[in-house]
Amino acid sequence: MPLYRLEDVREIRKLREVYGEDVVLLDEQDESQVYRILAEFEAGGRAYAVLQSDRQKKEDEVAVFRIAESGPQSYELETIEDDDEYETVAELYDEMTFDPED
């Protein structure tokens, strides 16, 4: 995945329009986990979501997923397997939330 700049990002609301501010995902043990939607955006023709569970919030971590359409107004979250793509998307999110006064 080529590097994208913040100017290449377009904020979207696909998940929020369908599911609200939170989504429920299954973890590795098939237990439900609630995640807050922190950001949704498109870059390079792909849609991404940045989510955070309560546990991740305590550790100041986030989860980054690719958003895939599975039907009209129906979406699935895909794990990003490519390390370069994941890093690029995570860095874009950092830039989006960076406060220069900190």
Instruction: Give residue-wise pLDDT tens across range 52-84.
Output: 999 999 999 999 999 999 888 889 999 999 999
Candidate ranges 3-17, 38-52, 88-102; pick with highest mean pLDDT: 38-52
Helix (H), strand (E), coil (C) string for 26-68: ECCCCCEEEEEEEEEEEECCEEEEEEECHHHHHCCCCEEEEEE
On the CB side of 18, CA atoms within 13 Å amount to 15
Find, among 80, 29, 72, 82, the residue nearest to 50 by Cα: 80
94 φ, ψ (degrees, to nearest 5): -60, -45
Return the pLDDT at 2.
Answer: 55
Cα 78 to chain center, whole Å? 10
DSSP letter, residue 21: S
Return the pLDDT at 100.
Answer: 62
Per-residue confidence at 32, pLDDT binned at 50, 70, 90? Answer: very high
Q: Look up tokens 């377009």; give the residue.
A: 10
Q: In whole angstroms, what is the distance from residue 20 CA to residue 4 CA? A: 28
Q: Does 36 have pLDDT greater than 70?
A: yes
Could you state, in order of their start, the residue ranges of all structural domains in the chain? 6-97
Return the pLDDT at 42.
Answer: 95
Per-residue confidence at 98, pLDDT binned at 50, 70, 90? Answer: confident
Return the pLDDT at 13.
Answer: 96
Q: Does 41 have pLDDT greater than 90?
A: yes
pTM of this structure: 0.89
84 φ, ψ (degrees, to nearest 5): -65, -45
